[in-house]
Amino acid sequence: MPALQSTRQASQAPWFDSEPAEALRVLERQLLLPQLSLLPTRPWLWIAPSAAWLADAQLGGRGLRLHRQGSGYAGDTRCALPLPLPNESVNAIVLQHVTVGDADHLLDECERVLMPGGHLWLTSLNPFSPFRTRWRQHGLVVRTPQRIRQLLERHGLECEDMRYLGPMWQGAGSRRRGGWAPLRAACLFHAEKRTLALPGPTPLSVRWHGTVAT
């Protein structure tokens, strides 16, 4: 079983710019862009692990594209957390492999800037996949899918869907009960910001006295 978490974060961006990560980047883009294109062209936020992962992250409407750089972010602007965005100002957020040491702070910010009912897509490497041999020597911090789902829920982001994607163990067949999807290289989560329903009107108790005209 892999080491699920590590305090090391030695060389995140170099691995994501390597050849093994390229196929994963292309696959994620093929899955994400069609889903995002269905949303209204409102402001969006896209955060990736390196500048190369933003090269073809093209969406309609206004948006902000950032990538990890040291302890902060670069791209369309340079910043750190908190994000330089007003409250509830974006309709869609994409987080690609960036929920590392500051996951709680980052997801707090995503909840803050996301409009009520807005959508968030998050991708993360799968620590249970044999594909981990490609990245574990780089000291990457990877949480389990269950832990990521809990993080999303804790920050007011209701996880509607999670799927496995990418390469999986060579020679895996269909004999495993439940399929081999949980051994794929990465996970894709889709969450929505919860909206608070206003309380409905309280019915009045009315008693009629006397006769009622019909």
pLDDT 10s per residue in the chain (214 long)?
A: 444 443 344 446 689 999 889 989 999 999 998 888 887 767 999 999 999 999 877 777 789 999 999 889 999 999 999 999 999 999 999 999 998 778 899 999 999 999 999 999 999 999 999 989 889 888 887 899 999 999 999 999 999 899 999 876 554 444 444 568 899 999 999 999 987 644 445 554 545 455 544 4
Residue 102 near residue 81, CB atoms below 8 Å? yes
Give a yes or no: residue 92 inside a domain.
Answer: yes
Domain of 119, in residue numbers: 12-193
- Say if 80 falls within a structural domain: yes
Domains: count for the chain: 1
The partner residues of 122 in beta bridges, in order of sequence, read 95, 189
DSSP 138-188: GT-----HHHHHHHHHHTTEEEEEEEEES---TT--S-STT-SGGGSSEEE
**Residue at 200 is within a domain:** no
Residue 71 inside a domain? The answer is yes
Calpha distance 87→78 (Å, rounded) = 19
Assess if residue 210 is contained within a domain. Answer: no
Residue 114 falls within a domain, yes or no? Answer: yes
For residue 156, is it within any domain?
A: yes
Q: What is the CATH number of the domain that holds 144?
A: 3.40.50.150
In a domain, 72, yes or no: yes
